[in-house]
Structure 1
Amino acid sequence: MSVLIKIDRYLRRTGMPVSKFGRLAVNDPRLVHDLKRGRQPGHGIVARIEAFIDGGAA
């Protein structure tokens, strides 16, 4: 499953704004917008995103 799909599911489940997610997960409020525009995250960013989602931080 792609990281963008995981993010989208998390955002729908929690109701968190996309900019807040990016800021809390990787300190980048434009993260989700950039991913939707084709940005390819590195392994470290993906790991931080998945850790944030798995940790359930909201």
Structure 2
Amino acid sequence: MDVDLLQRIEAFLSRMGVSPTRFGRTVVHDPRFVADLRAGRKPRRKVQAKVASYLSRHGS
């Protein structure tokens, strides 16, 4: 996984005051998504693209 993507997610969570669980549920329908990324999960390219698109659309 692109480490930059996790950094973008972390910055988004901090700036927007969104919980990791809510972010995962909203973006990829997986409430454990961020926790799993922090633990080393490597999402597929399609999921990475979906998250990157969401972050771009929401000002990250």
Name the TM-score, length of structure 1 as normaliser.
Answer: 0.90
Aligned to 2:36: 34
Unaligned ranges ≥5, structure 2: none
Q: Which segments of 5 or more consecutive residues in structure 1 lack a partner in the other structure?
A: none
2:6 to 1, 4, 7: 4
2:15 to 13, 26, 37: 13
Structure 1 residue ranges (4+ consecutive) displaced by more than 4 angstroms after TM superposition: none
Cross-structure match for 2:58: 56
Residues 1-56 of structure 1, C-alpha deviations (whole Å, 9 max, x = no match): 62110100100110001000001111111000000111001100101101111111
CA separation in 2, counterparts of 1:53 and 1:38? Answer: 20
| Matches of 1:47 and 1:5, distance apart in 2 | 15
Query: Once the two structures are aligned, what percentage of the paired residues are identical?
Result: 33
User: Number of aligned pairs?
Assistant: 57
